[in-house]
Amino acid sequence: MTELWKLTASELAPLIAARRISVKDAVASVLQRIEAVNPALNSIVQRMDAQALADAEAADSALARGEAAGPLTGVAVTIKVNVDAAGFATTNGLRSQAGLVAEVDSPVVANLRKAGAIIVGRTNTPAFSLRWFTRNSLHGATINPRDQSLTPGGSSGGAGAAVAAGMGPIGHGTDIAGSIRYPAYACGVHGLRPSLGRVPGFNATAGDRLIGGQLMAVSGPLARSIPDLRLALAAMAAQDMRDPWWQPMPLQGAAVARKLAYLEAPDGMAVAQPVRDALRAAADRLSDAGYQVEAVAPPPLREARDLQLRLWMAEFRQDATAALRAENDPDASFVYAQMSRHCPEIDLPEMMATLKARARLTRLWRSFLAEWPLVLCPVSGELPFADHRDVASPSAFDAVLEAQLAMIAIPFMGLPGLSVATGTLGTKPLGVQLVADQFREDLLLAAAEILAPQPVGLAMAQGQTR
């Protein structure tokens, strides 16, 4: 029999609902996997074994009483350490928050529990969730299970590594500039950034965010299969009125023309040949499946990227500069200095102009997506970066930033994006990004099921796949 930790959520949940296997056995198998591989990877930095087993026993008892299973009953899930989980510290990779213990679950955590998911651990992030790499002075560095020389991505690098290595079929991540999509890309799994307003969010430990985070930061799932992303999104998106941006939008939208805009190198961004090859292969596959694929000129992405960074940095300066100095994390301090070169401080008129430009760019993009409901573009212009490349030098940081152009721009307009793993080049994962209009994650997932009809392979601790 296949070891239970190897099953996807969509394979496991029906077996548990039919009581062919117990929740306790399923969870215990994942905990054994965590014990075996996490010491080498450091993706889970807060273990939750005792609570997970207690929750599993409670779930088995409920099923024995005849209670209906939830859509994720018995499915092991990890939660990133930058959102509140009751009884655990919301560290965000910071020594200064090591004792910031949450009293209540954030909405996304509460929704996963309501769906029956069993939370088995909390995953690593860079300090302040500020990089596309994962290392901090509190928890240390996370290793990519597919190739230890590569970044596991960031800021949800712990989530990407955990999912790739089989430490739970679903990982929770957050994304303001690619922090779900890039770890998925780097670790060779799938990652969905939902639309603004799809998945409710709020951290009582921090209070309300400033406008940048309100407009651009979302929670979403990482998984090895597209059906698992569907299950996770449906669970995460349940109502929670603590988030004033949340909207009760259907998960399945109206039928649209199967038209796809092909953006191989949008706004003149540099794109490596293997990335171009992966994009062309994906375009061919979707064309064969009946999509009308055309290379067309999109609305601005570079402008959206630049304004996204301006808004993000304005929020960081307002809320986090004192904490940055107090934390004195070398990576975060270096990245902040480089970001400051690109995004000088702005005054109130410049902030107002940034928000005004957001309205224009969002209008342009939503109008474009009305004509071209699906966009295919790079996740990154390069294959997954060598680990910690961004802090090697200012020029290295600039190269990293440029490669992420298409990924950074999308959140500025509140759009959903999906990083789809499509293969490997040696030990380096390959993938593409799909983009759609607000609340049309269904279009992303339908196309992704064509590109990735089977679950991606698991990564072992030594970087080998099964």
DSSP 300: P
Residue 177 CA to residue 101 CA, distance in Å, equals 26
DSSP secondary structure, 176-230, as one string = SSSTTHHHHHHHTSEEEEPPTTTS----TTT----HHHHHH-EEEEEESSHHHHH
Q: Which one of 10, 22, 43, 80 is the catalytic residue?
A: 80
Residue 340: active-site member? no
Tell me the C-alpha distance between 329 and 336, whole Å. Answer: 11
Give the active site residue among 155, 195, 219, 380.
155
Active site residue 80: yes
> Could you confirm whether 179 is annotated as catalytic?
yes
Which residue, among 185, 193, 206, has the nearest Cα to 237 in the 3D structure? 193
Between CA 335 and CA 284 the distance in angstroms is: 38
- C-alpha distances (whole Å) from 4 to each of 8, 13, 21, 148, 235 are 9, 11, 9, 26, 22
Q: What is the SS3 assignment for 355?
A: helix
Q: Tell me which of 22, 106, 156, 179 is the catalytic residue.
A: 179
Q: Evaluate whether 21 touches 73 at the Cβ level (below 8 Å).
A: no
DSSP three-state, residue 47: strand
**Long-range Cβ contact pairs of 271-277 (< 8 A, separation 24 or more):** 271/378, 271/381, 272/381, 272/382, 272/383, 274/383, 274/425, 274/428, 274/430, 275/378, 275/380, 275/381, 275/382, 275/383, 275/430
**CB neighbour list of residue 253: distance below 8 Å, 6 or more residues apart:** 439, 440, 442, 443
Q: Strands, E, within 224-364: which ranges?
A: 259-262, 292-295
CA 461 to the chain's CA centroid: 22
| Cα 170 versus chain centre, distance | 11
* Residue pair 107/240 in contact by the 8 Å Cβ criterion: yes
Both tokens of 419, joined, read 């990083």
Bridge partners, residue 220, by sequence: 173
The Cα-based distances of 240 to 108, 211, 248, 258 in angstroms read 9, 20, 10, 33
Catalytic residues: 80, 155, 179
